[in-house]
């Protein structure tokens, strides 16, 4: 009894685990926004841009330098004069020792420390312009995140609509095939009995073979699209996934005129923000490069100390022993890093980048309205095609059904029935393909105008 309960529990657990995850288009989009590595890569670039701002701010803050060392040094005893003292009695000739570079008194260990704290006071615009350039660079990187989101948003729809289109196409083709397959045996029987023509049998078998070919093609596209959807939303390929929509349907035709969409694109497209940020960043960068010609004014405190056992300390303002001394002092200074050739090259390079950014901004102002116009005209053309194909597929379906009934009644031959079947299949498949193209062009128009989650 216990084994039966255990077996029942295991079977129920397996059935729950095998249940496919179902997502609608919005859920798939939200999952993709959190799973697409391209978006995360751009977010990392934003973090790097923020770090660059912090670095520039750090260049304007106080900086400390400390160096602690130990080394070998000669000992020095018995005064500074050759008489062995540090004093010179009146009336006596005293000679300074000249054996400072010898090791007559032996060797000892010296240790010391040097330290400084420096704060830039004025840089003639270098730090200010570099910081401004870094801030605009961060805005540019943020717009690249929005740009990556747009591509992800579009990719989800391409996979989602593509899957629905392929599945609807396969199901339609299989329905037609099953209907024709039901007539295959009766048709062969009539032909064997001399009541029908073998050409009708061959025509039917030809049609069934072509349908099998297109069904296989649709199955392949269906699986590829579903795997693509899994990949973009972060679902493992081996996991089951289902979509909430039973069939593909036309999205709403966007309201608005072409000039309205163009103006919206010029205001909302990330590329336009990127062009503005890039231009502003490069202008500040050029000014910062030009300011490299000027010095930095700074203030701070410098300290140094050294101690060497085995050396007498000299307390004389005119004599300094670097191995036994200590001092600390505030400083105010001007520092140049001057290389005319390199500075000129840096300014020229920055100005060339600025000219390139201006050209890109001009291209965006011209190219973006064209992209909007292309998507706008395509959307409206496909909308008219859908209306025409709706009429055509309705008539083609009626044509095939009536022809099939006439064929069964012996009023028409197989060739006439084949024409009706071909017309129905062509009209329905074209309608589904055009429906997918229409939905994708609407999505492309949204991306072209910047009308998507950023």
Give me the average pLDDT of each 10-residue run along the chain (454 residues).
43 47 93 91 88 87 91 82 77 76 81 92 88 87 88 94 95 89 77 75 83 92 94 92 93 93 89 83 85 88 89 77 87 83 76 72 80 94 95 92 83 81 90 96 94 84
Phi, psi values for residue 74, rounded to 5°: -75, 145
pLDDT of residue 162: 95
pLDDT of residue 11: 39
Q: How far is CA 10 from CA 16, 96, 103, in A?
A: 10, 101, 90
Phi, psi values for residue 284, rounded to 5°: -65, -35
Determine if residue 111 is left, alpha or beta; phi over 0 gives left, psi from -120 to 50 gives alpha, anything else beta. Answer: beta
pLDDT of residue 91: 65
- Please report, for the chain, how many H helices and E strands are present, in that order: 10, 6
Domains of the chain with CATH codes = 23-60+123-166+226-295+339-449 (1.20.1600.10), 64-122+297-335 (no CATH)
pLDDT of residue 108: 86
Tokens of 206: 């030809």
Q: Is the separation of the CB atoms in 450 and 434 below 8 Å?
A: no
In whole angstroms, give the CA distance from residue 117 to residue 61. 10
pTM above 0.85, yes or no: no
238 closest CA partner among 18, 388, 72: 18
- Cβ of 104: how many Cβ atoms within 10 Å? 11
- Torsion of the alpha carbons at 196, 202, 203 and 205, rounded to the nearest 10: 120
- Cβ of 415: how many Cβ atoms within 10 Å? 11
pLDDT of residue 357: 67
CA gyration radius, the chain: 42
């Amino acid at each position: 009894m216990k084994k039966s309960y255990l077996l029942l529990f295991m079977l129920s657990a397996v059935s729950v685990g095998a249940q496919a995850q179902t997502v609608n288009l919005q859920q798939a989009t939200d999952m993709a926004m959190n799973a697409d590595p391209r978006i995360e890569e751009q977010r990392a670039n934003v973090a790097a841009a923020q770090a660059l701002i912090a670095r520039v701010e750090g260049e304007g803050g106080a900086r400390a330098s400390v160096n602690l060392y130990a080394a070998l040094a000669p000992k020095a005893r018995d005064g500074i004069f050759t008489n062995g003292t540090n004093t010179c009695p009146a009336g006596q000739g005293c000679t300074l020792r000249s054996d400072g570079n010898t090791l007559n008194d032996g060797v000892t260990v010296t240790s010391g420390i040097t330290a400084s704290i420096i704060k830039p006071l004025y840089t003639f615009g270098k730090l200010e312009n570099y910081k401004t350039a870094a801030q605009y660079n961060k805005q540019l990187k943020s717009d690249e995140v929005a740009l990556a989101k747009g591509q992800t948003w579009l990719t989800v729809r391409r996979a989602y609509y593509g899957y629905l289109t392929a599945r609807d196409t396969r199901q339609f083709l299989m329905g037609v095939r099953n209907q024709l397959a039901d007539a295959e045996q009766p048709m062969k029987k009539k032909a064997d009995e001399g009541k029908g023509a073998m050409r009708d049998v061959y025509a039917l078998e030809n049609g069934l073979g072509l349908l099998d070919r297109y069904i296989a093609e649709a199955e392949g596209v269906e699986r590829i699209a579903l795997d693509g959807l899994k990949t973009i939303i972060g679902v493992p390929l081996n996991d089951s996934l289902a979509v909430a929509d039973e069939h593909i349907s036309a999205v709403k035709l966007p309201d608005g005129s072409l000039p309205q969409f163009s103006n919206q694109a010029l205001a909302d497209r990330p590329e336009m923000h990127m062009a503005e940020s890039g231009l502003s960043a490069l202008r500040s960068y050029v000014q910062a490069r030009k300011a490299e010609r000027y010095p930095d004014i700074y203030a701070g405190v410098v300290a140094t100390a050294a101690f060497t056992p085995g050396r007498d300390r000299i307390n004389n303002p005119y004599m300094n022993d670097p191995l036994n001394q200590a001092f600390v002092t505030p400083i105010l200074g001007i520092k140049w890093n001057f290389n005319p050739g390199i500075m000129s090259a840096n300014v020229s390079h920055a100005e060339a980048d600025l000219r390139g950014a201006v050209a890109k901004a001009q291209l965006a102002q011209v190219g973006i309205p064209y992209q909007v116009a292309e998507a706008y005209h395509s959307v409206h053309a496909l909308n008219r095609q859908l209306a025409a194909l709706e009429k055509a597929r309705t008539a083609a379906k009626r044509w095939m059904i009536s022809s099939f009934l006439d064929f069964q009644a012996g009023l028409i031959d197989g060739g006439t029935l084949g024409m009706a079947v071909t017309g129905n299949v062509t009209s329905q498949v074209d309608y589904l393909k055009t429906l997918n193209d229409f939905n994708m062009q609407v999505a492309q128009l949204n991306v072209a105008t910047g009308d998507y989650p950023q």
